[in-house]
Each structure stands twice: as C-alpha cells, then as structure tokens.
Amino acid sequence: MPQKACRVELLASTPDATSLIYAAFRQCYHAGFVGDMWPRLLAGEIAADKQAAFITKVMESGHASPIEHVSFTFAVEGVSRALTHQLVRHRIASYSQQSQRYVDGSDFDYILPPAIARIPEAKERFESFIAEIGNAYRDLKNILEANGRGEKAKEDARFVLPQAAESKIVFTMNCRSLINFFEHRCCTRAQWEIRGMANQMLDICREVLPVVFKTAGARCERLSYCPEGEKFTCGRYPLP
C-alpha cells in the first residue's frame, strides 16, 4: 500500500475557446446574428488580440456568464477521499469517480498529510494504522465471500476504508465554475491537499486560456485585499 501524490491531467477543453467566448459576448451586445460571424472568427478575420481585448474589457465589468460556454475536463489521481468529498461540493460540475463498490481495496494506496510525515512518531503510527485497515478490509472481504456475498463483498468491506484512501476522479467544469473553484481552493485557508490540486489546475488553465484565467486564483490576489474578514484572514493582504 504505497503513498501517492497528486497528479492532474487535462483530458479535454472546448476547442476555439477564445472565439467561442467572444461570439457569446458579442451576441449580448450585437444587433446581428453571431452565427454569421462565426466563420469569420474561425478564419481569423477578427484578430485574436482584438477578441481577447474585448473579452477582458467585458469581464472586468462583471459580466461573466458567457464564459460558461467553455469547459475543461480533468483526470486526477493520487488524491484522498477527504479531498473528493470537498471537491464534489462544487455542484456546477460533472464527476466520475473510481468506485469502492467495484474496485478491490485490499491493497489501497493512501495519502499522507505533510504535517504527519514531518513527525517520525506520527508517521509511524499513521502507517501502522493504514496497514491494520488493509488487513481488516481483506479479512472482511474474505469472510463475506465465504458466506455467499461474492462480488458484493467489496461494497460492504469498504466501510472500514479511511478518508486517506487514494482515489481517482474525472470531472468537468465550465470556466465560470473554475474561477469560483480557484477563488476558494487556491486560498491559503483551503486545506493543503485541495489547494495543491487547484494550483496545478490553475497552471493548466492559464496556459490553455490566459484571457480568462490570467487573473484567476484566490480572491485576495485579484482584489489586493482579504475579503475573509478579521476572524479568518491569513494576513497576507490587508482587510478592506
């Protein structure tokens, strides 16, 4: 049962994303039909920098709904069930997660929190308990199989698996949902694991679609002040 680290891969994103967002924004303010403009956009008749400048100007006004037409699909491994429980709370998204009902957890991988890893005594206790859980899972699975549960033994044995158990997940978010996700999960107050994943995702999004994500991230970085209030501020930025 080895320790795992987070890995983020971009599976797909909406093609011609900048032009699509530009077309959606223009339809809001344009008397004509952007369906007639679309071939010109694809042909490059409207320069990419002109499209980007228009998108930036409108987004700065607070108008963001047209960016919902573009989405990103990520595959992630090496994350804990604790992380995915937080992730799925971002409800405007689609998720496909590795199932503990069907995947045998006898030799499950796990995530080791850095704060525990730094303390030899804590690390030893954590890893010994993970091994105990693995043994309990295997024992329960074997007992259940011997008593007629068959393939369904896994779905009952999984009840002993910890939040540290490694999971894999595919999810899709549109750009507006991603910006909201980054505002909350790139914040230093987010838990270390999901913050690390969010920062990997943000790096990818900035590379693929900088016009939308160049200023994305924790809210304080965009605002230049901390909106969390005196009780929750990390102190990195001043309060308003």
**Positions marked catalytic:** 185
Sign of the dihedral defined by the CA atoms of residues 37, 40, 41, 46, in that order: negative
Side-chain half-sphere CA neighbours of 97 within 13 A? 17
The Cβ of residue 100 has, within 10 Å, a number of other Cβ atoms equal to 18
Which residue type sits at 119?
I
Indicate the helix (H) or strand (E) that contains 173. strand 166-174
Residue carrying the six token digits 């604790």: 82
Say which residues have a Cβ less than 8 Å from residue 225's Cβ, sequence separation at least 6. 237, 238, 239, 240
